[in-house]
Amino acid sequence: MKFTLPWLREHLATDADATAIAHTLTMIGLEVEAVADPAERLAPFTVAYVEACEPHPNADRLKLCTVRTRHGTFRVVCGAPNARAGIYGIFAPEGAVIPATGQVLKRAVIRGVESCGMLCSAHELGVGEDHSGIIELEGPWEIGTPAAVALGLEGPVFDVAVTPNRADCFGVQGIARDLGAAGLGTFRPREIHDVPSVGRPGPAIHRAFPAGEEEVACPVFVGRIIRGVRNRPSPAWLQRRLRAVGLRPISALVDITNYVMFDLCRPLHVFDAAKIRGDLVLRYARRGERLVALDGRTYELEDGDIVICDDTGPISLAGIMGGESTGVTEETTDVLLEVAIFDPVRIARTGRRLGLESDARTRFERGLDPAMVMPGCEYATRLILELCGGEPGPAVVAGRVPQERRAFDFRTSQLPRLGGISLEPAEIERILRALGFELAGGPEVYRITVPSWRRDVEGEACIVEELTRIHGFDRIPPVPVTRVEAVSPVRLTPAQRLRADARRAAAAQGLLEAVTWSFIPAEHAQRFGAPQPVRLRNPISAELDALRPSLLPGLLQAAARNLARKHERGALFELGPRFLEGRPGAQRTTLAGLRFGDFAPRHWSEPKRPVDALDAKSDLYAILRDLGVRTEALSVRREAPAWYHPGRSAVVALGQRVLAAFGEIHPLILERFEIEVPVCAFEFDLEDLPQPKARKGRTRPPLEPLPYPPAERDFAFLVDQSVAAGELLEVVRRAGGRLVREVRLFDVYAGKGVPAGKKSLAVAVRLQAPDRTLTEAEIERVATHIVEEAARRLGAVLRGAS
Amino acid sequence: MSEARRQVEELRERFLAAVQAAADSESLERVRVEALGRRGRVTELAKGVGRLPPEQRREVGQAVNALKRELEAAIRARREVLAREALERRLREERLDVTLPPRERPEGRLHPVSHVLDEIVAIFADMGFAVAEGPDVEDDFHNFTALNIPPAHPARQMQDTFFLETTDAQGEPYLLRTHTSPVQIRTMEAGRPPFRIIAPGRVYRRDYDMTHTPMFHQVEGLLIDRRTHMGHLKGCLVDFVRAFFERDDIPVRFRPSYFPFTEPSAEMDVGCRRSQGQLVVGAGDDWLEVLGCGMVHPKVLEMVGLDPDVWQGFAFGLGVDRFAMLKYGIPDLRTFFEADLRWLRHYGFLPLDVPTTFAGLSR
């Protein structure tokens, strides 16, 4: 909502300057987004006179103007077709900032001729759209007159972000009322007198809505005919004012409707009465009907849009925009003025569907003051008579102006209870009355009647808001919120703690935490475990049209983006929701990570190698271990989901329960994501981890004393390539029995010295007894059993022992 | 002097000289074997003592033993010297290029949103708030209706909502929550007052431009008891922003605003200034809106079965990403979701950066 200071002063007697007004507005809830003073921005620009104009010696389209300015006479190179001797224009001196471009004007040599300053177009000054030529002022003007004065700009201009509840503040009068209540001046509502009518009324008006709906759809519709008007351009003051708030002056009749709309928050419409065929009928549109609106576009109507019709069908889209066929023109002599109330819900719905924004819609859909219908009609009529002449007929009223006013009791104790302040009854009464509330009773309980323009005020809490905002939120003393306990107790639930730990555990493995969208392309969702993806009805793009069933597509896309930026390797993880179904609660908290490209950057200390499934396994195991999972109890099964490489992936289970998956990403998936380096990944849901047992204490079991020396034996087994290392380690562990402290695979080798189809697995076994030093014989017995078992179960033979 | 004694003397001179002359541990060992080995000269001499005439036995025996001890001591001493010399030689020779870059260690980072969220949790936990959670997929009731946003309310236009193809029992489409406020409702539905919670999470709006992303993060706050008023609201949030930005002198102001689920409603601004194109929070000539808040609307309390004449309190909602941008000077919201490795390393936090109110939120 924009308005100017002089306009405001018509409703508010105040000496306050723009800064004070802007500050007060913001502090009472009418946030000022900008105060623009066109005079300030245009300060360097002044009226100048073109004394002479001759062709540029080196350019056909350019001219050399001799310009008399406040700063002296200069030669200006100008390309405007209308530049000529004897005109008054607006001169920009060297050093001025051109509003349209923000650039500083510099002295320049143009095609060999020095140019000093510039003659400006309306576009360059930001005061109009015209950039076909320079501004021509109707002379004569005194040289050096400020541009703002010569152009008749009104300012300063306030731009207020009106919150949706304050429908009344889409008019200058409403804003002035709030400022008056806040003590910034004296509110002066516009005095509106009835205009006596002459002659016959205009067309009859019928409301034709389904039974019982007309009081909602259109409780009142006033049509007043004014005959014999002369529609012409508005006077300068009105044009200036409309331009200042961003409206384009069109003709006096149209400008008056806009003016009253901005002044009193009372949108109006004017029909050319001569173009109306028959009576006016208000009804719901029927699907298939069309309307060419004043913006020249054709709108397809739907059942339930409110329209104003004549015998030809819809001629206006109620509360949003009038129709072209009955619009007023310079030739209009009989005008029908419309003042009405329509159902805000329907106006909003129609406007939204048609994508049709208008100042009228903004006001209608927030709810208008019914008590302003008749005064709005009278005020507009008077302006029309003043500016266009004519004779007003009697108003035709369909329906009636709703009179209902909300009333409730307000206990003043609610102010300290909710607002944290107390006010004297006199101050409470002053504030509320200034805002238009009627009060009875008091001082403990007031009967409050809400003004007709404040449909947002519903109860005591609203009155607390009115009192606190006008008194000033700044004047509410802050009170610290203290906790009850001396020592802060644990606030996180175990699941919340687990999440925080999981993030840190993943980062500790060298993974960088990413945050990617919860939505992904449906096609990706299908490939990552959701054959029927949960789709959005209104995605922001086709790339983001389904809820993610896995975090990996997002991370793969991130990897692909990084590769495209020449980050040739990397490691990422994300912890966040994945979605099983499209309903509340059908989501899991998942940790997923991936590495792509080489494991490490090239470095003197390590040979370069691409990542593989075991890097993902290492990340996974380290994270699970940090989260309290006994990783030595995990088993590995080759059952990983389809997006993994079938031979280089697995799931990890604790007993029968699958916890996680890891592996290299399937080459076809990589191709889809246009990734040309290997990628390994892991993923698990935090909900699947074994829940930590509730424990009373934090004591740990005592450390088992092992005072007797350990013995270490190494075994190099030759096994078939198909034998899994994990199986061998398990066999060794079992065969070793209770004396085994540790089994460690320290070498895997195939190649020279090892028969084809075989591989060598070297295992170190550490044996130790808690109560004695092991004898050679004992150690030998265990070692022999290990070798026998490995041979019996896996066909392993000791290398070099054949 | 007997022949035997002379012999002892001779061996003594010879071997002491040989010990001193030994240039390395191998030659020293050869000397030791020649003198004291099983067939060494001194050993042989000792074996011969028994064959000497009785009157010489004792004297020569003592002399041979003394020689043995002397030689052993000399060898030990020489061995130490040689070892020391060898070590010095080794240390002179063993040189590593210490300018080689160190072996790489993992360098993981937490996303700034995670860290800032932990900071926010730390502050509010200290003020007695627990952490509550709710689903990303919501129904119309929890996201709108229960928050006093009826179907035609203009506030539904303020938040452009993503709807799912799935529908609830009433046939209303499920949606992605547009704010974390539904967690207020779920918390109050499930528990009994008083309530003191914050609810962090992802939220979704159909908006994607220079300053908006279709997904971002919010923290909702809710305090309901029998006495909390706007003074507490102000106190709580002023304490919060000053703790969060780690500056006691941040100017703060509250402006009346509008949210359907609070009455009165306010927006909180912090002081700021622009310095070299960056927005700096603190004393300055400008204000920056950072969060919305207000007293919980009586209709919202009624909707969850609480008597607004008994229970009262405040709620607030803030944008985590925005707070991260402001505190750490991150210029572009969209970059939060790009997972650019350089960005994550630059703006991310180490896993050991655990924010606490007692040790500090950040370093």
- Per DSSP, the residues of A645-692 read EEEEEEEEEETTEEEEEEEEEPHHHHHHTT--S-EEEEEEEGGGSPPP
pLDDT grade, residue B60 (50/70/90)? confident
CB contact under 8 A, B104 and A601: yes
Q: How many CB atoms lie within 10 A of CB A107?
A: 11
Q: Give the residue-averaged pLDDT of B339-355.
A: 95
CB contact under 8 A, B176 and A583: no
CB contact under 8 A, A461 and B232: no
Total beta-carbon pairs less than 8 A apart between chain A and chain B:
271
Q: Give the residue-averaged pLDDT of A276-280.
A: 94
Interface test with A, best of B127, B142, B167, B258 (most A CBs within 10 A): B258
H/E element holding A428? Answer: helix A425-434
Per the document, the length of chain B is 363
Q: Give the three-class secondary structure for B362.
A: coil
Interatomic CA distance for residues A715 and A699, integer angstroms: 39
For chain A, percent of residues with pLDDT exceeding 70: 99
Maximum CA extent, chain B: 133
Interatomic CA distance for residues A418 and B225, integer angstroms: 12
- Is it true that domain A40-150 has CATH number 2.40.50.140? yes
Q: What is the pLDDT of residues B256-280, one digit of tens each?
A: 999 999 999 999 999 998 878 788 8
Name the class of domain A205-399. alpha beta
Mean pLDDT score of chain A, rounded to an integer? 93
pLDDT grade, residue A802 (50/70/90)? very low
Region of poorest pLDDT, from A113-117, A170-174, A270-274 = A113-117
Alpha-carbon gap: A29 to the closest alpha carbon of chain B (Å):
4
Q: Give the residue-averaged pLDDT of A479-488.
A: 91
pLDDT grade, residue B154 (50/70/90)? low
Residue B1 has pLDDT above 70, yes or no: no
Structure tokens at A321: 């925009």
Q: Give the residue-averaged pLDDT of A396-425.
A: 96
Strand partners, A663: A649, A681
CB contact under 8 A, B103 and A485: no
Q: How many CB atoms lie within 10 A of CB B260?
A: 22
Strand partners, B295: B314
CB of B160 closer than 8 Å to CB of B272: no
Instruction: Tell me the CATH number for domain A711-798.
Output: 3.30.70.380
A60 against B111, higher pLDDT: B111
Backbone angles phi, psi at A578, to 5 degrees: -125, 155
CB contact under 8 A, A583 and B137: yes
Distance of CA A74 to the CA centre of its chain: 50
What's domain A2-37+156-187's architecture? 2-Layer Sandwich (3.30)
Helical pair A172-181 and A425-434, crossing angle rounded to 10 deg: 170
Q: What is the pLDDT of residues A637-693, one digit of tens each?
A: 999 999 999 999 999 999 899 999 999 999 999 999 999 999 999 999 999 998 877
Rg (CA), chain A: 41
Q: Which of residues 228-247 of B touch A (CB under 8 A)?
A: 228-232, 234-236, 238-239
CB contact under 8 A, B126 and A352: no
CB contact under 8 A, A583 and B238: no
CB contact under 8 A, B340 and A509: no
**Chain A contact for B339 (CB, 8 A cutoff):** yes
Structure tokens at B332: 């572009």
Closest to B200 (Cα-Cα) out of B122, B278, B88: B122
Closest to A153 (Cα-Cα) out of A32, A10, A36: A36
Residue B5 has pLDDT above 50, yes or no: yes
Beta carbons within 8 Å of B58's beta carbon, 6+ residues apart: none
Residue B40 has pLDDT above 60, yes or no: yes
Output DSSP code: residue B144: T
Residue B214 has pLDDT above 70, yes or no: yes
Interatomic CA distance for residues B354 and B363, integer angstroms: 10
The secondary structure of chain B in percent helix, strand, coil, rounded to multiples of 5, reads 45, 25, 35
Interatomic CA distance for residues A378 and A395, integer angstroms: 9
Looking up tokens 């008091």 gives A442
Closest to B201 (Cα-Cα) out of A557, A688, A551, A575: A575
Within 8 A of B239 by CB-CB distance, chain A residues are 480-481
Q: Give the residue-averaged pLDDT of A579-602.
A: 95
Q: Give the residue-averaged pLDDT of A179-200.
A: 94
CB contact under 8 A, B239 and A480: yes
CB of A372 closer than 8 Å to CB of A453: yes
Q: Give the residue-averaged pLDDT of A273-277.
A: 95
Mean pLDDT score of chain B, rounded to an integer? 92
Within 8 A of B214 by CB-CB distance, chain A residues are 517, 519, 540, 544
Q: What is the pLDDT of residues A674-689, one digit of tens each?
A: 999 999 999 999 999 9
Report the residue from A417, A539, A544 with minimal CB separation from B312. A417
**Chain A contact for B257 (CB, 8 A cutoff):** yes
**Chain A contact for B48 (CB, 8 A cutoff):** no
Instruction: Tell me the CATH number for domain A407-474.
Output: 3.30.56.10
What pLDDT sits at residue A630? Answer: 92
Interatomic CA distance for residues B187 and B181, integer angstroms: 10
Report the residue from A165, A512, A516 with minimal CB separation from B337. A516
Within 8 A of A608 by CB-CB distance, chain B residues are none
Q: Give the residue-averaged pLDDT of A730-748.
A: 93
Within 8 A of B295 by CB-CB distance, chain A residues are 418, 461, 464
Interface test with B, best of A414, A421, A492, A515 (most B CBs within 10 A): A515
Closest to A98 (Cα-Cα) out of A73, A72, A78, A127: A127
Within 8 A of B348 by CB-CB distance, chain A residues are 512-513
Residue A801 has pLDDT above 70, yes or no: no
What pLDDT sits at residue A389? Answer: 94
CA B289-B320-A584 angle, 5° bins: 120
What's domain A494-688's architecture? 2-Layer Sandwich (3.30)
pLDDT grade, residue A186 (50/70/90)? very high
CA–CA distances in Å: residue A427 to residues A183, A322, A626, A789:
12, 46, 63, 96
Interatomic CA distance for residues A682 and A526, integer angstroms: 19
Alpha-carbon gap: B299 to the closest alpha carbon of chain A (Å):
10
For chain A, percent of residues with pLDDT exceeding 90: 78
Q: Give the residue-averaged pLDDT of A129-149.
A: 84
Within 8 A of B152 by CB-CB distance, chain A residues are 344-345, 348-349
Within 8 A of B120 by CB-CB distance, chain A residues are none
CB contact under 8 A, B236 and A468: no
What pLDDT sits at residue A129? Answer: 64
What pLDDT sits at residue B156? Answer: 66
**Chain A contact for B76 (CB, 8 A cutoff):** no
What pLDDT sits at residue B157? Answer: 58
Residue A127 has pLDDT above 80, yes or no: no
What pLDDT sits at residue B155? Answer: 54
For chain B, percent of residues with pLDDT exceeding 90: 73
Q: Would you list the domain boundaries of chain A? A: 2-37+156-187, 40-150, 205-399, 407-474, 494-688, 711-798
Report the residue from B118, B166, B295 with minimal CB separation from A461. B295
Intrachain domains A2-37+156-187 and A494-688 with the same fold? no
Strand partners, A409: A447
CB contact under 8 A, A496 and B106: no
Q: Say whether pTM exceeds 0.90.
A: no
Q: Give the residue-averaged pLDDT of A517-522.
A: 96
Interface test with A, best of B114, B163, B312 (most A CBs within 10 A): B114
Q: What is the pLDDT of residues B251-262, one digit of tens each?
A: 999 999 999 999
The sheet with strand A445-449 has its strands ordered as: A407-411, A445-449, A438-441
H/E element holding A272? Answer: strand A269-272
Residue of B nearest to A564 (CA): B340
Q: How many CB atoms lie within 10 A of CB A742?
A: 13
Strand partners, A447: A409, A440
